[in-house]
Amino acid sequence: MTARRQIAAGNWKMHGCGADLVELAEIASAAKPLSGIVTLLCLPATLLDRARGRGVELGGEDCHAQPSGAHTGDISAQMLRDAGADFVIVGHSERRCDHGESDTDVAAKAMAAWDSGLIAIICIGETEEQYRAGRTEQVLAAQITGSVPDGATPENTVIAYEPVWAIGTGLTPDPEDIQKTHAAIRATLATQHAMGGKMSILYGGSVKPDNAKVIFASPDVDGGLVGGASLKAADFVPIMQALNASKGGNQ
Ligand code: PEP
């Protein structure tokens, strides 16, 4: 791979029923001319099969570390792949917090994703307390060490940097801080993985149409992982367009 993938990724979380796929249709139609980016929607597993073949890349929101077994209510990477996904988010802070997932759990899920041919979007991010204590880079370096397994490459892995305090709050770090943190993440990846410096690193946390342009202007930001603003095409399409424009794609 030569250039890093530029990805506008939506994370619908626990939102969306069949009727909401009308939004996906609008997003897909707007994605068609955007040559410079990957448009990706990480959807509830119940929607994946119905969303496939409609013109956007699809991802799951989590997977189990095992390929199959007695795990009621869980979903395997292979099931996601079978339903049409090419990507899966692992280690989102809501999973780390609500389900007590550790870095070791996240690394196991990333490996399960690769085993099924999925690209793992591995999430890392500091809490507000860690941010206030000035420990962001230290915390992220430890999360990378623990959550990004040996064998990670720019082809099978995308990193999403999501400050926990920025998710769903309307708060974001200053653009200069986002660039500085992404550069630090890239440097850590480069020391730990042969091609680590070439991995795509997405920013996530309150990306909106009105701040997307300035966030995506940072050279080490390769796109966004977008929650709330990915649910409606009216919000997500301008974000996709801002990414495409920032990275020099055709409109
Ligand atoms: C997310 O779900 O990963 C996220 C960043 O959410 P929001 O964009 O709503 O802050």
- The per-residue pLDDT for range 150-186, each reduced to its tens digit, is 999 999 999 999 999 999 999 999 999 999 999 999 9
Please state the length of the chain: 251
Rounded to two decimals, the pTM is 0.97
Residue 115 — very low, low, confident or very high, per pLDDT cuts 50/70/90? very high
Cβ proximity of 68 and 78 under 8 Å = yes
Task: Indicate if ligand 1 lies below 6 Å from the C-beta of 201.
Answer: no
Closest to 92 (Cα-Cα) out of 152, 173, 144, 161: 161
Please give the structure tokens belonging to residue 149. 């397994």
Measured in Å, residue 121 CA sits from the centre of ligand 1 at 14
92 noted as active-site residue: yes
CA dist list (Å): 107 to 122, 147, 152, 157: 8, 4, 10, 11
What are the residues whose beta carbons fall under 8 Å from the beta carbon of 89, sequence distance 6 or more? 11, 42, 59, 60, 61, 62, 121, 123, 160, 225
C-alpha 149/C-alpha 48 separation (Å) is 27
Task: Indicate if ligand 1 lies below 6 Å from the C-beta of 38.
Answer: no
Closest to 216 (Cα-Cα) out of 16, 7, 19, 18: 7
Nearest CA owner, ligand 1 atom 1: 227
Measured in Å, residue 204 CA sits from the centre of ligand 1 at 6
pLDDT at 249: 73
pLDDT at 251: 56
Number of H helices, E strands in the chain: 10, 8
Mutation pick for ligand 1 pocket among 207, 210, 232, 236 (CB with most ligand atoms within 8 Å): 207
Cβ proximity of 209 and 30 under 8 Å = no
Residue 248 — very low, low, confident or very high, per pLDDT cuts 50/70/90? confident
Please give the CATH topology (third level) of the domain spanning 7-246: TIM Barrel (3.20.20)
Cβ proximity of 18 and 47 under 8 Å = yes
Task: Indicate if ligand 1 lies below 6 Å from the C-beta of 6.
Answer: no
Specify the pairing of strand 157-161 against strand 57-60.
unpaired
Q: For 55-93, how does the pLDDT look when each residue is reduced to its tens digit (9 = 90+)? A: 999 999 999 999 999 999 999 999 999 999 999 999 999
Burial class (CB in 10 A: 0-12, 13-18, 19+), 148: buried
170 secondary structure, DSSP code:
S
Residue 210 has pLDDT above 70, yes or no: yes
Give residue limits of the domains in the chain: 7-246
Cβ proximity of 179 and 220 under 8 Å = yes
End-to-end CA distance of the chain: 23
Burial class (CB in 10 A: 0-12, 13-18, 19+), 208: middle
**pLDDT: which is higher, 50 or 251:** 50
Of 57, 61, 94, 162, which residue is the catalytic one? 162
Closest-lying ligand 1 atom to the alpha carbon of residue 123: 3
- Residues β-bridged to residue 126: none
Q: For 177-195, how does the pLDDT look when each residue is reduced to its tens digit (9 = 90+)? A: 999 999 999 999 999 999 9
